[in-house]
Amino acid sequence: MLKDRIGIVSGGTRGIGRAIVKELVAAGAKIAFTYVKSDAEAKKLLQEIAAAGSEALSFKGDVRDYDTCRDFVEQVKAYFGGLDFLVNNAGITRDKAFMTMEKEDWKDVIDVNLTGCFNMARSCIVTFLKQKEGNIVNISSISGISGIARQVNYSASKAGIIGLTRALAQEVAPYNIRVNCIAPGFIETDMLGILKEELKDKFRRAVPLGRFGNPQDIAKTVLFLLSEQSNYITGQVIKVDGGLHTSN
Ligand code: NAP
């Protein structure tokens, strides 16, 4: 579905990002992914992709830094000879009660989750505008739609991603660039792993499909949004949450 298409995935070493990288590579794409700490995971992922006869590129760099993102995008274009799409996946949580939330907890989450999306999208957009073709998929969260207690910083960052998606989609649609976002519910990754079992059980019971999602559930939706099968979809928020949130 994506044969020889060239794309970037931020935060590709673990969890949802890792599943996205593998799904897109399996669909024929050439992928460059970022991470900040997980050198061993990055190496392992590159080895797995190479063993399957495909090619990928890893880049250690923080999405909080605009110049880092811009350099990375230029390196990807030089290495693969072009750029067709961007998946903004890198994200963090710093959950705590609002009355104990320090300004660093707020800033870290907004900087990685929301400013990181801006930095990557802004670094890619001129290329997309010039070639009159491009595709951006941002990973938001159900938390950005309904809000979740003890996630004021995270909910705000993810709601911001929805606003960014809708505004940018309208601005660049005349240039044949689509921008959508996915709002996952509870997905089994390290991010969910830090929650107490008691709380996880409560969340699991609230999911109508009766299970947490797995990273592949999100990766398959990313593939759909990057493929021709979704050619007439832009500016949308696709919830992938097992039925958790059914109103708009
Ligand atoms: P995860 O397992 O914690 O993985 C996060 C990934 O982002 C890692 O590859 C990490 O790199 C990378 N990353 C973190 N900070 C970064 C930074 N400053 N610059 C570049 N890369 C950075 O998280 P996940 O659960 O897969 O979540 C992926 C996305 O889905 C996030 O945006 C998250 O908010 C969203 N989401 C997750 C859930 C869920 O239930 N899991 C639900 C809704 C939305 P390192 O490995 O180097 O740390």
Report residue 198 as tokens: 């008691």
- Please list, in sequence order, all residues whose beta carbon lies within 8 angstroms of the beta carbon of residue 75, skipping any fewer than 6 positions away: 32, 57, 59
The Cα–Cα gap between 131 and 83 comes to: 10
Alpha carbon of 15 to ligand 1 centroid (Å): 7
Q: What is the per-residue pLDDT across 71-100, written as a single tens digit (0 to 9) for each?
A: 999 999 999 999 999 999 999 999 999 999
pTM, to two decimals? 0.98
For ligand 1, whether the C-beta of 190 sits within 6 Å is: yes
Q: pLDDT by residue (tens digit) across 115-131?
A: 999 999 999 999 999 99
Residue 199 has pLDDT above 80, yes or no: yes
The rounded Cα 21 to chain-centroid distance in angstroms is 11
CATH architecture of the domain covering 6-237: 3-Layer(aba) Sandwich (3.40)
Residue 148 CA to residue 187 CA, distance in Å, equals 15
Structure tokens at 43: 């190496």
Check 35, 66, 79, 154 and give the catalytic one. 154
Domain boundaries along the sequence of the chain:
6-237
**Cα–Cα dist 233/112, whole Å:** 27
Q: Please count the other Cβ atoms lying within 10 Å of the Cβ belonging to residue 82.
A: 14
Residue 193 pLDDT exceeds 90: no
Q: Which residues carry a binding-site annotation for NADP(+)?
A: 11-14, 89, 154-158, 187
Dist. CA 183 → ligand 1 center (Å): 13
Tell me the best of 9, 14, 195 to mutate to test the pocket of ligand 1, counting ligand atoms within 8 Å of each CB and taking the most. Answer: 14
Give one word for 157, left, alpha or beta, with left for phi > 0 and alpha for psi -120 to 50.
Answer: alpha
Which are the contacts of 248, defined by CB distance < 8 A and separation ≥ 6? none
| Pocket probe mutation, ligand 1, options 189, 203, 211, max atoms within 8 Å of Cβ | 189
Is position 175 annotated as part of the catalytic site?
Answer: no
Judge if the beta carbon of residue 139 lies within 6 A of ligand 1: yes
Cα 156 to ligand 1 centre (Å) = 16
| pLDDT band (50, 70, 90) for residue 247 | confident
Here the tokens at position 125 are 């957009």
Give the pLDDT confidence of 9-68 residue by residue, as tens digits: 999 999 999 999 999 999 999 999 999 999 999 999 999 999 999 999 999 999 999 999
